A = this chain, B = another copy of it.
């Protein structure tokens, strides 16, 4: 089962700047070979189901190992069985209707 995911990892107890931790997660996702797109409030990932949760687990392990005692993550997770759809398809599908 393929999923399109929006992942937003928020470390707590490390001060106000969190970009270093977000960058570490980006590296984890990249090393997992996932198709991904960073945006201003998270990272979109296009992925087989089992791969994404292994990767999110590695993100939490990495961010805790960097010193964050607590993490609050938000995940939006879409699956569909009627047809294949990529992240680009989703964006184009909306943009087409805006013309």
A: residues with CB less than 8 A from B are 1, 4-6, 8, 10, 12-13, 15-20, 22-23, 26-27, 37-42, 44, 46, 49-50, 53, 56-57, 60-61, 64, 69-82, 87-88, 90-91, 93-98
Contact = CB atoms under 8 A, between A and B. Distances in A.
A40 B81 contact: no
Contacts of A15: 12-13
A20 to B, nearest CB: 6
Given A19-B94, A19-B97, A74-B75, 6 more contacts: A6-B39, A16-B80, A41-B44, A71-B80, A73-B78, A74-B77
Contact of A77 (B20, B37, B49, B75): B75
Contacts of A78: 41, 70-73
A17 B18 CA distance: 17
A7 to B, nearest CB: 9
A18 B93 CA distance: 9
Contact of A40 (B10, B26, B37, B40): B37
